[in-house]
C-alpha cells in the first residue's frame, strides 16, 4: 500500500507536530494503515519537551514530496547472471515480453545490460566470423540438449575454434585441417575419424551416434551428441556464450530509487537506451525504467494539517496529490487538481478540531495521545489567553486532560518554560516558530517565541535584531518581525527590521525603542499581527 503522509507546516510548532501524529493515529485506528505522520523541519525545544513528557517519538522528517523513481510503476524483470547463456537471456526476454534485461553480480549489484539488439548483433558477428573462443562446455550441453560421448567421461571446461560443418560431399577434400576447430557433422565416420586424429577442440554429432570403435580412439577432442540438425546446431553454438561476453558493461546510465523524476528526465533526454537499470540504496538491481514510465507517474499523497498556504508547505507539493486539509488558519493559495475534504474551523488550535474528530468517530484517544492533544491546545492558545482561543478549545483541552489525568496549569508552565533557556542559540529560537507570508506583493516573516520570562530573552535583543537583518537579506524579505509573547504579561514585545515605518504605522507605535515595542493584549500572530498588516497593505 502507498503511504499517505500527514504533515503540518514548515518550522513546525507543537500544534503542527501533534496534529499530524493524532490525525494519523485516528486514520490508522479506523482500519486503513497507510497513514504516516511527518514533519517538515526541526522539532523545537518546546515540542521536544512535550513529546518527551509523554514518551512519544517525533514524526518522520520529510524534505519534499517530489516524485521519485520509487513512485513509478517500473518494470521488474529478473536480473540474470553474467554466466547465464545467451539462449537463456533470449528465452527470459520472450517469457517476460521485454527486450532488455539487467545482468547482476552474485551479490545483486549491477554488472551490465543485455538487449535483444545485443543478441542479434552477436548473431551477425558470428555469421561473418565463424570463430568462437572459450565457450563453457556445460553451456554447450545445455543449449544443444546434448550429452558427452567420451569414454573417459572427462569433460573439458571450455572449447574454442573455427566452427566447421563437415558436409558429406567433402569426404575427398576435408575442410578442416587443424586441431583449432569445432566440427559439426552427422553420420560421417570418415569425418569423425579424421577429426579425432587431429584432436580438434570439439566434435558435435547431429542426430546420429558414433561407433564404439571410433569412441575407443585416443583423442583430446570433446565429443558431444545433439538431437538438433547441423543448421540449428551452428546457430545455437553462438547462444551458448555467457551473457558476460555479449552484454553492455561500459557507460551504462542507471538510476536509484530515490532519484527525482525531474533529474531522470534530463538524463534520459541525453541518452538513447531502451531501458535503464534501477538500483536500491545498497546498489542492488531492483528493476528497469523506460521512457513510457515517465508519462503518468504515480504521485505521492499527502494530507495537510495546521496550514493551507503553499509557502508554508512542503517542497514539491505541486507534484503530490493533496487528499485533505484540516486547519484553523485563513484560506490561502493552495490549489488542488480534484475536489478534496477540507475542514477549516475558527478555533485556537488544529488539535482541537482533531480531538473533536475522535469524538465524532466514537473513538477515545489513548492517555498518551490525549496528553499530547491537550499540550498542543494549551501551546497554540497560549494557555487560553490568545484571542484565537474559543470555549471549544477550553472544553476540549479539559476533556483531554481528564483522559490523560494531568493538570493543564502545570502542563502550561512546563511548556512555556522550555522556550527561554539561556543555552539556546538566537538562530534556533528565531526558527522555532517561524513563518513567511506573501500579502499583496509584500514578503515578510513573523517569528514567535512564547515564554514566561520575556525580560531574560530581551537581554539579547540586539542579537535577535542582527539575526533578523541577516534573514531578511538572505530570504529577500521586505520585513522580519519577532513576537516575544509573555504569558504572564498578557502581551508581546515586537522586534522588527525592514519596513519599519509601515510596521509602526500598522501597530500605532509612537516611540519605537531600538526597533522594538511592547504591545499589550497582542498574543496571536494569526488573528492579530497578520490581519493588521493585511488590512494596511490590502
Q: Which of 451, 384, 383 is nearest to 418 (CA)?
A: 451
Query: Does 283 score more than 70 pLDDT?
Result: yes
Query: Does 297 score more than 60 pLDDT?
Result: yes
3-state helix, strand, coil in the chain (%, to 5): 40, 25, 40
Half-sphere exposure of 483 (CA within 13 A, CB side): 28
Q: Are 492 and 518 in contact (CB under 8 A)?
A: yes
- Looking at CATH, the fold of the domain delimited by 4-67+300-417 is given as inorganic pyrophosphatase (n-terminal core) (3.90.1640)
Query: Does 206 score more than 70 pLDDT?
Result: yes
Q: pLDDT tier at 54 (50, 70, 90 boundaries)? A: very high
Query: Does 52 score more than 90 pLDDT?
Result: yes
Query: Does 510 score more than 90 pLDDT?
Result: no
Instruction: Please state the rounded mean pLDDT for residues 311-340.
Output: 92
Q: Which triple of cell numbers denotes residue 248?
A: 553492455
Q: Cα angle at 128 between 232 and 103, to 5 degrees? A: 70
Q: Which triple of cell numbers denotes residue 536?
A: 494596511
Q: Which of 227, 236, 229, 206 is nearest to 123 (CA)?
A: 236
Average pLDDT, the chain: 91
pLDDT digits (tens, 9 = 90+) for 92-127: 999 999 999 999 999 999 999 999 999 999 889 888
Assign domain 426-537 one CATH number from 3.10.310.20, 3.40.50.10540, 3.30.70.270, 3.40.50.360.
Answer: 3.10.310.20
- Tell how strand 285-289 and strand 276-279 pair up: antiparallel
The CA distances from residue 17 to 80, 204, 245, in Å, are 46, 74, 56
Instruction: Please state the rounded mean pLDDT for residues 306-317.
Output: 93
- pTM above threshold 0.85: no
Residue 527: DSSP 8-state: I
Q: Give the Cα separation of 63 and 39 in Å (integer).
A: 9
Q: pLDDT tier at 191 (50, 70, 90 boundaries)? A: confident
| Best-predicted range by mean pLDDT (119-133, 208-222, 371-385, 443-457) | 371-385
Q: How confident is the model at residue 452, as a pLDDT?
A: 86
Please state the length of the chain.
538
Q: How confident is the model at residue 180, as a pLDDT?
A: 83
What's 49-116 look like in SS3? HHHHHCCCCCCEECCECCCEHHHCCCECCCCECCCCEHHHHHHHHHHHCCCEEEEECCCCEEEEEEEH
- Burial of 354 (C-beta count, 10 Å sphere; 0-12/13-18/19+): buried
Q: How confident is the model at residue 187, as a pLDDT?
A: 87
To which residue does cell 493538570 refer? 407
Q: How confident is the model at residue 128, as a pLDDT?
A: 83
Q: How confident is the model at residue 347, as a pLDDT?
A: 96
Q: Are 85 and 241 in contact (CB under 8 A)?
A: yes
Q: Which of 454, 455, 468 is nearest to 426 (CA)?
A: 468
The CA distances from residue 390 to 269, 308, 354, in Å, are 56, 21, 15
Least confident of 24-28, 163-167, 503-507: 163-167
- With a CB cutoff of 8 Å and minimum separation 6, the contacts of 57 are 51
pLDDT digits (tens, 9 = 90+) for 380-431: 999 999 989 999 999 999 999 999 999 999 999 889 887 666 678 899 889 8
Percent of the chain with pLDDT over 70: 96
Q: How confident is the model at residue 422, as a pLDDT?
A: 64
Query: Does 164 score more than 90 pLDDT?
Result: no
| E-only strand ranges, 141-215 | 147-148, 158-165, 181-185, 202-206
Greater confidence, 375 or 173?
375
Phi-psi region of 360 (alpha: psi -120 to 50; beta: other; left: phi over 0): alpha
- Tell how strand 60-61 and strand 35-39 pair up: parallel
Q: Are 378 and 408 in contact (CB under 8 A)?
A: yes
Q: Which of 358, 365, 364 is nearest to 326 (CA)?
A: 358
Q: pLDDT tier at 517 (50, 70, 90 boundaries)? A: very high
Q: Which of 356, 352, 344 is nearest to 375 (CA)?
A: 352
- With a CB cutoff of 8 Å and minimum separation 6, the contacts of 225 are 146, 147, 149, 204, 205, 208, 209, 210
Q: Which triple of cell numbers denotes residue 64?
A: 519534499
Query: Does 155 score more than 80 pLDDT?
Result: no
Contacts 24+ apart (CB under 8 A), 332-338: 332/308, 333/309, 334/304, 334/308, 334/309, 334/310
Query: What are the boundaries of each domain within the chain?
Result: 4-67+300-417, 426-537
Q: Are 323 and 368 in contact (CB under 8 A)?
A: no
Q: Give the Cα separation of 288 and 118 in Å (integer).
A: 17
Q: Which triple of cell numbers denotes residue 442?
A: 509584500
Q: How confident is the model at residue 153, as a pLDDT?
A: 62
Amino acid at each position: 500500500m502507498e503511504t499517505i503522509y500527514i504533515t503540518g507546516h514548515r518550522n513546525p510548532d507543537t500544534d503542527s507536530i501533534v496534529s499530524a501524529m493524532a490525525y494519523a493515529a485516528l486514520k490508522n485506528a479506523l482500519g486503513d494503515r497507510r497513514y504516516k505522520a511527518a514533519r517538515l523541519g526541526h522539532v523545537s525545544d518546546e515540542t521536544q519537551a512535550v513529546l518527551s513528557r509523554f514518551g512519544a517519538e517525533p514524526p518522520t522528517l520529510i524534505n519534499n514530496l517530489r516524485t521519485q523513481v520509487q513512485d513509478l510503476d517500473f518494470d521488474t524483470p529478473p536480473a540474470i547472471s553474467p554466466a547465464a547463456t545467451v539462449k537463456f537471456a533470449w528465452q527470459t526476454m520472450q517469457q517476460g515480453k521485454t527486450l532488455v534485461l539487467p545482468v547482476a553480480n552474485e551479490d545483486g549489484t549491477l554488472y551490465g545490460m543485455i538487449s535483444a539488439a545485443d543478441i542479434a548483433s552477436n548473431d551477425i558477428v558470428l555469421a561473418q566470423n565463424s570463430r568462437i573462443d572459450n565457450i563453457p562446455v556445460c553451456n554447450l550441453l545445455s543449449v544443444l540438449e546434448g550429452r558427452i560421448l567420451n569414454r573417459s567421461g572427462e569433460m573439458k571446461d571450455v572449447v574454442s575454434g573455427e566452427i566447421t560443418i563437415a558436409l558429406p560431399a567433402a569426404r575427398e577434400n576435408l575442410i578442416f585441417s587443424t586441431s583449432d576447430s569445432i566440427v559439426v557433422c552427422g553420420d560421417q565416420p570418415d569425418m569423425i575419424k579424421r577429426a579425432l586424429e587431429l584432436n580438434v577442440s570439439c566434435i558435435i554429432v547431429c542426430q546420429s551416434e558414433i561407433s564404439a570403435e571410433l569412441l575407443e580412439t585416443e583423442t583430446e577432442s570433446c565429443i558431444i551428441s545433439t538431437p538438433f540438425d547441423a543448421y540449428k546446431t551452428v546457430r545455437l553454438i553462438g547462444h551458448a556464450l555467457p551473457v558476460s561476453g555479449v552484454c553492455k558493461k561500459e557507460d551504462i546510465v542507471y538510476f536509484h530509487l530515490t532519484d527525482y523524476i525531474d533529474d531522470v528526465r534530463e538524463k534520459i533526454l541525453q541518452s538513447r537506451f531502451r531501458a535503464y537499470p534501477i538500483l536500491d540504496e545498497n546498489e542492488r538491481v531492483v528493476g528497469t525504467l523506460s521512457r513510457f514510465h515517465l508519462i503518468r507517474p504515480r504521485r505521492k499523497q499527502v494530507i495537510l494539517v495546521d496550514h493551507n498556504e503553499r509557502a508554508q508547505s512542503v517542497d514539491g507539493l505541486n507534484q503530490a496529490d493533496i487528499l485533505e486539509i484540516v486547519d484553523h488558519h485563513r484560506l490561502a493559495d493552495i490549489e488542488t487538481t480534484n475536489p478534496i475534504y477540507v475542514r477549516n474551523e475558527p478555533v485556537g488550535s488544529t488539535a482541537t478540531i482533531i480531538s473533536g474528530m475522535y469524538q465524532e468517530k466514537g473513538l477515545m484517544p489513548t492517555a498518551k495521545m490525549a496528553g499530547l492533544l491537550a499540550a498542543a491546545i494549551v501551546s497554540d492558545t497560549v494557555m487560553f489567553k490568545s484571542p484565537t482561543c474559543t470555549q471549544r478549545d477550553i472544553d476540549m483541552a479539559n476533556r483531554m486532560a481528564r483522559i490523560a489525568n494531568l493538570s493543564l496549569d502545570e502542563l502550561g508552565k512546563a511548556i512555556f518554560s522550555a522556550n527561554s533557556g539561556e543555552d539556546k542559540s538566537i538562530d534556533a529560537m528565531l526558527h522555532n516558530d517561524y513563518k513567511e507570508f506573501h500579502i499583496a506583493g509584500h514578503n515578510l516573516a513573523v517569528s514567535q517565541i512564547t515564554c514566561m520570562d520575556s525580560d531574560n530573552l530581551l537581554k539579547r535583543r540586539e542579537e535577535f535584531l542582527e539575526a533578523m537583518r541577516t534573514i531578511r537579506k538572505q530570504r529577500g524579505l521586505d520585513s522580519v518581525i519577532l513576537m516575544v509573547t509573555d504569558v504572564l504579561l498578557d502581551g508581546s514585545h515586537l522586534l522588527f527590521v525592514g519596513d519599519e515605518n509601515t510596521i509602526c504605522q500598522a501597530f500605532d507605535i509612537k516611540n519605537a525603542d531600538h526597533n522594538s515595542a511592547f504591545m499589550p493584549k497582542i498574543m496571536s500572530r494569526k488573528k492579530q499581527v497578520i490581519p493588521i498588516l493585511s488590512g494596511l497593505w490590502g
